[in-house]
Amino acid sequence: MAGARISVPSRARSGEVISIKTLFSHPMETGYRRDALGLAIPRDIVSEFVCSYDGRAVFRAELNPGIAANPYFAFSVRADRSGTLEFRWTDQDGNVTVETRELAVEP
Amino acid sequence: MTNRRSLLIGGLAAPLAGCAGRGASPAARVVVIGGGFAGASAAGTLRQLAPEVDVTLIEPNPVYTACPFSNLVIAGERRLDAQQFSYQNLKAAGINLVQQRATDVDPATRQVVLENRQVIAYDKLIMAPGIDFQWTIPGLSAGNADRMPHAWRAGAQTVLLRDQLRGMRPGGTFVMSIPEAPYRCPPGPYERASLIAHYLKQHNPKAKVLLLDGKDQFSKMSLFRAAWTTLYGDMVEWQGAADGARVVEVDAGNRTLHTDFESVSADVASVIPPQRAAAIAERAGVADASGWCPIEPRTFASMLQDNVHVIGDAAIANAMPKSAFAANAQAKLCALQVVKALNSETPVTSKLINTCYSLAAPDYGISVAGVYAPGDRAWLDVEGAGGVSPLDADIAVRRAEAGYAEDWFTTITREVFG
Ligand SMILES: Cc1cc2nc3c(=O)[nH]c(=O)nc-3n(C[C@H](O)[C@H](O)[C@H](O)COP(=O)(O)OP(=O)(O)OC[C@H]3O[C@@H](n4cnc5c(N)ncnc54)[C@H](O)[C@@H]3O)c2cc1C
């Protein structure tokens, strides 16, 4: 398992709309399935994903049971200043995975 | 086995009775499109079950090149001509062989149009045209596919991929892109990876085999992965959807494959494109929005057109995999149902079986078997029946299964092509 994967350019021109893709390896177990012995498989999901740009949330998603394994998000952000992009996945138990990428913006 | 045997015994005896009294009425005409495992089996079975029926098989190629075992050709362990079968025996059995491509089907007037503009009328049509590729991966097209041969229809590309591997630089990387389901032969890509690793281990031991997969799970996954470690150490690396490994674009010119997160440059590549039923299915109006052909499970009658049946890879048989074994089993059942329909008899209800053998090395076989029952809307897996080879079997078992695989191929091709 690769954990989090992120595709984001390292530099952009000011005002440019950049595309960001993220994938988080996770089974997204719904809690509604049963195993071979008929026992309920406990729910195990990522419940929130937030991308912040220079400290400000620019993309946020709430995830619920039924969303497919390995949640994948593709979204766009307007690059207007150099700064840190932070990607934060939080699971149902509050465990947090954080990744960051630096974005250099040229005027 | 029991199910298939009882079907054939029940089937052979019954349908002929109804035809005996027909006397002067013109022979019923059944036309089959496609002379692969499905179509050739259907034509041959019809001939056996109902000698009075006029059977026509439309197939453009004079020789059929079989896919099962073609991965051995890629690995340099088998000649392509061992994969090739002529239609002469089917012809000798009294089947009208028309060496043409069907270009159109009009279910309203019950006619097939051929490339040479000839028109063939039918009472019942069985469509078994196999697959076509969907050129939906940006950068890949029918025109440049030879740069990254799919070899997913056996023939020229099979030999091409073999030769590209032979010419690969020492320590090079072979990369394969594997589509999401459904596609022809679910375990086929992993067998290919294994046999290519077998070849490289001997001729290019520092080389790598990298699999970029659109799925998280695959057929016989634990058996394949265990075999790769045992036989090839760390030569074979598999990345799945959870690794973000789905190929979203390729650059055929410099053999680069792009996932959402990475670019991989290959020395030799095989990109297996997504697939759909062959184009004639859409012309005939038997394919749905998925590109495949919905059928009434018990009889393989098209859900979309009257008097047309669809079998083999082109059909949506749900739990049944797209395999030569399944195509042959479906063909025999469908032929029986067509004869029953011509005789105004009610269709039978029969289960079908499938076994897919794969080679993790030429003398290392693994298998998965299933039993399938026709539900109202779908072919369903009979739970608890069938199964896969044990994970902890010793090498003698693997060798025996490789032998069974070869026996299966010999038996089925003899049965179908004579
Ligand atoms: C690498 C590889 C390995 C495989 N290994 C196995 C295995 O070990 N075991 C197994 O069971 N299966 C295996 N398969 C799968 C198997 O090859 C297919 O499931 C099988 O060929 C399906 O049979 P079919 O008759 O539906 O299609 P096909 O075999 O593709 O036959 C279709 C025929 O229709 C003809 N046709 C198409 N369009 C027209 C038209 N317009 N007019 C007239 N004719 C037309 C084609 O020329 C072709 O001859 C493998 C496949 C691959 C690619």
Chain B nearest C-alpha distance from A8 (Å): 9
Is B19 a residue whose pLDDT tops 60?
no
Domain range annotation of chain A: 4-106
Own/partner pairs, B65-69, CB within 8 angstroms, 24+ separation: B65/B153, B65/B154, B65/B155, B65/B158, B66/B37, B66/B154, B66/B324, B66/B409, B66/B413, B67/B152, B67/B153, B67/B154, B67/B184, B67/B185, B67/B188, B67/B324, B68/B185, B68/B324, B68/B409, B69/B405, B69/B406, B69/B409
Question: Under an 8 Å CB criterion, which residues of B touch A?
Answer: 216, 239, 241-244, 260-261
Cross-chain residue pair A21–B216, CB shorter than 8 Å: no
Question: Residue of the nearest CA to atom 39 in ligand 1?
Answer: B129
- How far is Cα B257 from Cα B259, in angstroms, rounded to an integer? 7
Type of residue numbered A17: V
Which residue is associated with the tokens 């003899």? B414
Q: B247-282, pLDDT tens digit by residue? A: 999 999 999 999 999 999 999 999 999 999 999 999
pTM given for the model = 0.91
ipTM for the complex shown = 0.78
pLDDT score, position B24:
52
Q: How far is CA B365 from the centre of its chain?
A: 19
Specify the fold of B135-271: FAD/NAD(P)-binding domain (3.50.50)
Cβ-nearest to A69 among B242, B243, B244? B242
Q: What is the mean pLDDT of residues B226-237?
A: 98
Tokens of B196: 């290519």
pLDDT score, position A36:
85
Ligand 1 pocket test target in B184, B325, B407, B416 with most atoms within 8 Å of CB: B184
More confident residue, B20 or B72: B72
Question: Residue of the nearest CA to atom 52 in ligand 1?
Answer: B67
CATH 1.10.1040.10 fits B2-60+100-132+275-346, yes or no: no
Write out chain A residues lying below 8 Å of B214, CB-based: none
pLDDT score, position A107:
86
Cross-chain residue pair B244–A2, CB shorter than 8 Å: yes
Is B155 a residue whose pLDDT tops 80?
yes
Is B397 a residue whose pLDDT tops 80?
yes
Cβ-nearest to B244 among A5, A26, A69? A5
Cross-chain residue pair A2–B241, CB shorter than 8 Å: no
Write out chain A residues lying below 8 Å of B384, CB-based: none
Is B314 a residue whose pLDDT tops 90?
yes
Specify the fold of A4-106: Immunoglobulin-like (2.60.40)
* Residue B224 DSSP one-character state: H
* Residue B317 DSSP one-character state: -
Q: A5-64, pLDDT tens digit by residue? A: 999 999 999 999 999 999 999 999 999 999 988 999 999 999 999 999 999 999 999 999
> Which residues make up the CATH 3.50.50.60 domain(s) of chain B?
2-60+100-132+275-346, 135-271
